[in-house]
Chain A
Amino acid sequence: MKSRKLLLGTRKGLVVYKESSGGWKFDLLAFRGLPVSLTMVDDRNNIWWACLDHGHWGCKLHKSMDEGKTWLELTTPKFPEGEEVKDGVPAAVKYLWALSHGGVDNAGKIWLGTEPGGLFESTDDGASFKLNRGLWDQPSRKDQWFGGGRDYAGIHSILVDPRNSDHIYVGISAAGVFETVDGGKNWEVRNKGLKADFLPDPDAEVGQDPHLLVSCASNPDVLWQQNHCGIFRSIDGAKTWEEVSEKEGPAKFGFAVAVDDNNADVAWVVPAVKDEMRVPVDNALCVCRTDDGGKTWKDLREGLPQEHCFDIIYRHAMVHDNETVAFGTTTGNVYLSHNRGDNWEVLSHHLAAVYSVEFTQGSI
């Protein structure tokens, strides 16, 4: 029987909850004790993917054909011998940070982003990967990309246009947004309007720091990003960006952002204090939602702790599915709302730090 499932990639394993008439219940645990940095459910074929970040043994990539009951380890993408992040620094995969399928007309195609900033492409459902030369050879990479929160620049966002699978955006911390319209052969910088207040020139073409890039499923020309320096929105396919941070209020800095699939004006963020410390604003947990494209923001606090709170929400750890919004936190809490954030309920207070959250329509 079909029922929604919620996949939680945590520091100590993949935890799956399943929705039933009685609410959300624990369904399964996979990779017990191992950090799961990211999941992806391929909605073309219901294959589940999981990225692992072993403390000792490196990054590993797994996939499951039975909704997480059993898993197959794949060969992890590798940089070709001799590739360098910078002159004298060999390129080796440190972290698996972004996954996307390659479009409904590209069966078997998978895109995967890593730190350092490699974009890998598979055409055989993950049996093999090759480095995308177009982005790796982008002229700005060696000298203008740098680490943002991690040692090296990393690709954390991959958006394949549902109307045209050769049209792809990637988000890179810290470099910015890049776009290809020819399936990855050529990439153009798309950072116009972004501000990098940590650089001598805040308007620098490259060196911007999007924390997460998302697009509206029904209107993919509208993109949102939670950036290190504010919340930005584009309504012209990333040709230009406009800051829509709240002038008087908490909605400015954070990591995660979600946009409504059916209304590109509706988006959610979870604010935090910026550079001097990473804690919730006023140590109170608050989700902010805009219903008007970022002109105004509404604080959503009902059901969330409002004192002595240290929960931070990582970039892949908030999602929405119709009226339901879910997020997981660095302190192992998971919250759900069934009315777009107006009220929140607790799913768990007892998980490990949550790295990623994803809804899927399960069939098992």
Chain B
Amino acid sequence: MPNVKFTPNLKRFYPDLDTGQFNGENVAELLDNINQKYSGIKDYIVDEQGELRKHVNIFIGNEMVKDKIKLTDHLSDDDEVYILQALSGG
């Protein structure tokens, strides 16, 4: 299963959030499974149409996901996935 690491800024809303392994053939499935454990967290990462929020980034290894609309990027069992916030604002 891919290993998922989260920006620590999400811990403000999910204090128990921690690095962990989640199932998923692609990023969209992965988020659904993360949401099973951390109810509602998917809404922080994507909008109601499933599109990655404008100021959120997801990396697979060192590569930013290519499909930010449907999140169809394929995942392998040994992938490291990073869910990060983009730099913005002040």
Binding site for B on A (CB under 8 A): 54-58, 73, 75-76, 78-79, 81, 90-93
- The residue that A57 contacts in the complex, of B49, B53, B89, with Cβ under 8 A, is B53
B interface secondary structure, majority: loop
Query: In the complex, which residues of chain B have a beta carbon less than 8 angstroms from the beta carbon of A81?
Result: 48-49
| Residue contacts A-B, CB under 8 angstroms, 24 given | A55-B55, A55-B89, A56-B9, A56-B53, A56-B56, A56-B88, A57-B53, A57-B56, A57-B85, A58-B43, A58-B44, A58-B47, A58-B53, A73-B13, A73-B40, A75-B40, A75-B43, A79-B49, A81-B49, A90-B49, A90-B51, A92-B47, A92-B49, A93-B48
Given A57-B44, A75-B40, A76-B43, residue A92 in contact with residue B88 (CB < 8 A): no
CB of B48 within 8 A of CB of A92, answer yes
Q: How far apart sit A201 and B14, CA to CA, in the bound complex (Å)?
A: 51
B86 within 8 A of A: yes
Among B13, B48, B86, B88, max chain A CB count under 10 A is at B48
Query: In the complex, which residues of chain A have a beta carbon less than 8 angstroms from the beta carbon of B55?
Result: 55-56
CB-CB nearest in chain B for A91: B49
Q: How far apart sit A90 and B69, CA to CA, in the bound complex (Å)?
A: 11
Binding site for A on B (CB under 8 A): 9-10, 13, 40, 43-45, 47-49, 51, 53, 55-56, 85-86, 88-89
CB-CB nearest in chain A for B55: A56
CB of A92 within 8 A of CB of B51, answer yes
Among A56, A76, A81, max chain B CB count under 10 A is at A56
CB of B88 within 8 A of CB of A57, answer no
Given A73-B40, A75-B40, A76-B43, residue A55 in contact with residue B88 (CB < 8 A): yes
Q: How far is the CB of A140 from chain B (nearest CB, A)?
A: 23
Query: In the complex, which residues of chain A have a beta carbon less than 8 angstroms from the beta carbon of B43?
Result: 57-58, 75-76
Top 7 A-B residue pairs of the complex, sorted by shortest distance between their CB atoms: A78-B48, A92-B47, A57-B44, A90-B49, A56-B55, A56-B85, A55-B89
CB-CB nearest in chain B for A55: B89
Q: How far apart sit A73 and B10, CA to CA, in the bound complex (Å)?
A: 14
Q: How far apart sit A55 and B53, CA to CA, in the bound complex (Å)?
A: 10
Q: How far apart sit A73 and B40, CA to CA, in the bound complex (Å)?
A: 10
Q: How far is the CB of B28 from chain A (nearest CB, A)?
A: 13
Q: How far apart sit A172 and B13, CA to CA, in the bound complex (Å)?
A: 32
Query: In the complex, which residues of chain B have a beta carbon less than 8 angstroms from the beta carbon of A92?
Result: 47-49, 51
Query: In the complex, which residues of chain A have a beta carbon less than 8 angstroms from the beta carbon of B45?
Result: 57
Q: How far apart sit A90 and B68, CA to CA, in the bound complex (Å)?
A: 14
Query: In the complex, which residues of chain B have a beta carbon less than 8 angstroms from the beta carbon of A91?
Result: 49
Q: A73-B40, A92-B49, A92-B51 are in contact. List 16 more A-B contacts (CB 8 A).
A: A55-B89, A56-B53, A57-B13, A57-B43, A57-B44, A57-B56, A58-B44, A58-B47, A73-B13, A76-B43, A79-B49, A81-B48, A81-B49, A90-B49, A92-B48, A93-B48
CB of A93 within 8 A of CB of B47, answer yes
Query: In the complex, which residues of chain B have a beta carbon less than 8 angstroms from the beta carbon of A58?
Result: 43-44, 47, 53
Query: In the complex, which residues of chain B have a beta carbon less than 8 angstroms from the beta carbon of A57?
Result: 10, 13, 43-45, 53, 56, 85
